Every structure is written in structure tokens, then in C-alpha cells.
């Protein structure tokens, strides 16, 4: 039985649906939900320097996590939330190992083939490398 689900949250509509899905599962099974927002710094960008010199990125992501609790106010006590810097796929898979997560719920953005090729697909990366069940929410 699933006891601890991990949701990658970026504020998109699909990640909001993923949070709601994971919370409904947790309520049904007596489990918990870990919501992680990943702050990805792209090497060499102007934003990288600005975000490293100030904590604007962390503040921005913290606001996203507050949104999560507003999405499911009746279940906010079931949610653990964290902001982590790094590559989204790597961060999510490390969270599984570090926190004993037994299920991943991730939103699918529906980007086109070119965008996936250029930017990668977090859901595809996680699906390929995860050693726990993964649910992709559209």
C-alpha cells in the first residue's frame, strides 16, 4: 500500500492536478504527500547569477509551495513541502531515496516533440529511472 507519495510541483495546472491526486490517495490510504519544487539554475544565464546572489529564486518557489496548501486546505497537515535546487529529475529521484518515498506523482506538460528534445522531459526522465511506481497526471 502506498504510504508516502512525492509530487514535483512547478505551479502548472498539471502539477496542481498531481497534488490533488496524491492528496486524495493519501486521504484514502492514511498516507502522506511530499511536495517538492525544484529551482533549476541553468549554467551561464543571467538569472543564475541573480538567483545565486539573492534569494529571489527561493522566495519565488516558497510562494509556489504556499499555493499547494491553498489547493488542498483541508489536507494541509498531510503535506511535507521543500524547495530544492538542482536538476528536476535528479532531485525527485534523490527525494525518493532520502525520504523513503514509495510512489511518485508527476504532471505531464504536453510539450511538443521539439521542446522535449531541446529541454528534456522531467516525466520521461523520472519514468525511465524510478524504482518506485510513477503516476503521470495530465
Q: What is the pLDDT of residues 54-99, one digit of tens each?
A: 556 567 666 777 888 899 988 889 999 888 888 889 999 999 999 9
Using CA atoms, how far residue 16 sits from 4, 13, 70, 104, 114, in Å, is: 18, 5, 10, 14, 25
pLDDT at residue 119, rounded to an integer:
40
pLDDT at residue 42, rounded to an integer:
63
Q: What is the pLDDT of residues 98-112, one digit of tens each?
A: 999 999 999 876 655
> Any idea what the CATH number is for the domain that residue 102 is in?
3.40.50.620
Q: What is the pLDDT of residues 6-16, one digit of tens each?
A: 999 988 899 99
pLDDT at residue 56, rounded to an integer:
62
**What residue numbers bound the domain in which 28 lies?**
4-137
pTM of the predicted model as reported, rounded to 2 decimal places: 0.82
Q: pLDDT band at residue 33, thresholds of 50, 70 and 90? A: very high
The number of distinct structural domains making up the chain is 1
- The answer to whether 36 and 81 have CB atoms below 8 angstroms apart is yes
Amino acid at each position: 500500500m502506498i504510504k508516502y507519495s512525492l509530487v514535483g510541483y512547478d505551479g502548472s495546472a498539471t502539477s496542481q492536478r498531481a497534488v490533488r491526486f496524491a492528496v486524495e490517495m493519501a486521504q484514502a490510504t492514511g498516507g502522506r504527500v511530499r511536495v517538492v519544487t525544484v529551482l533549476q539554475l541553468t549554467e551561464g544565464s543571467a538569472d543564475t547569477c541573480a538567483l545565486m546572489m539573492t534569494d529571489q529564486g527561493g522566495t519565488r518557489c516558497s510562494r509556489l509551495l504556499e499555493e499547494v496548501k491553498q489547493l488542498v486546505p483541508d489536507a494541509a497537515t498531510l503535506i511535507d513541502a521543500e524547495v530544492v535546487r538542482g536538476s528536476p529529475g535528479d532531485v525527485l529521484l534523490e527525494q525518493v531515496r532520502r525520504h523513503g518515498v514509495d510512489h511518485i506523482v508527476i504532471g505531464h506538460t504536453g510539450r511538443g516533440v521539439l521542446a522535449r528534445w531541446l529541454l528534456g522531459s522531467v516525466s520521461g526522465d523520472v519514468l525511465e529511472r524510478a524504482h518506485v511506481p510513477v503516476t503521470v497526471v495530465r
